[in-house]
Amino acid sequence: MCVPLWPLHKVFGIRKIVVSTYQSASGAGAKAMRELEEQCRDFAADKELKAEVFPYQIAFNVFSHNSAVEENGFNGEENKMVEETKKMFHEPGLEIVPMCVRVPVLRAHSESIYIETEKEISPDKARKLLREAPGVIVVDDVKKGYFPMPIEANGKLEVLVGRIRQTGSKKSLALFVAGDQLLKGAAWNAVQIAEELILS
């Protein structure tokens, strides 16, 4: 999320983020990926699907991220998103509303993101900035209906971003991203943000 939002934040000043995730099995480790594969094989073999790594069946299902819900009603993964983003952006007052959800994808996470900004923003301005931003590939072909997908983000260092569009006011935007979090996890993000901060 931070990779495409940071260049937008620097220019337009993001003041609020509402984000829903589509997180792959790989975020829970290799065993979780094998469980999803195994459930698909059991489905094909007409066998009962067994859930051992995840608390619930992951094949043909989605469920709230398996980290525990904490006192503020957010689960551990959601609180991590809020805290890490505030820290990396140096914005303790930034409002972030995350909903973290597992989906039956093997690798690469996706996110549906809505932002509100201080300055007026437009899809064209955002696309132009993102095309020049490090670590981002704009995949936003409206005519072909071709947008970021986790199977295409697999194995890429860049984060794919698309479905960029205005949403009612000139100070809000929606976008959809997909990135291989095994390559672009919190650690690598932090390195990139640190570099950006030093360079800017």
Say whether residue 122 binds a second copy (CB under 8 A): no
Say whether residue 198 binds a second copy (CB under 8 A): no
Per-residue mark of binding to a second copy, 4-43 (x: CB under 8 A): --------------x-x-x-------------xx--xx-x
Work out which of 13, 91, 106, 190 binds a second copy, going by CB under 8 A: 106
**Which tokens hold the place of 153?**
């983000």
Say whether residue 92 binds a second copy (CB under 8 A): no
Say whether residue 190 binds a second copy (CB under 8 A): no
Continuous H helices in the chain: 2-12, 30-44, 76-89, 123-132, 150-153, 186-199
Whole-angstrom CA distances from 1 to 23, 39, 54, 93 are 12, 29, 24, 18
As a whole number of angstroms, the distance between CA 29 and CA 43 comes to 22
Within 13 A of 184's CA, how many CA atoms are on the CB side?
26
Nearest approach in angstroms of CB 104 to a second copy is 5
Say whether residue 93 binds a second copy (CB under 8 A): no
The dihedral through the CA atoms of 99, 6, 166, 178 has a sign that is negative
114 membership: H or E segment, kind and range: strand 109-117
As a whole number of angstroms, the distance between CA 75 and CA 132 comes to 34
Say whether residue 132 binds a second copy (CB under 8 A): no
Map the footprint of a second copy across residues 165-184, applying CB under 8 A.
165-168, 172, 174, 176
Say whether residue 89 binds a second copy (CB under 8 A): no
- The contact set with a second copy (CB under 8 A) reads 18, 20, 22, 36-37, 40-41, 43-45, 55-57, 59-64, 66, 68-69, 72-74, 95, 97, 99, 101, 103-106, 110, 112, 114, 123, 142, 145, 147, 149-151, 162-168, 172, 174, 176
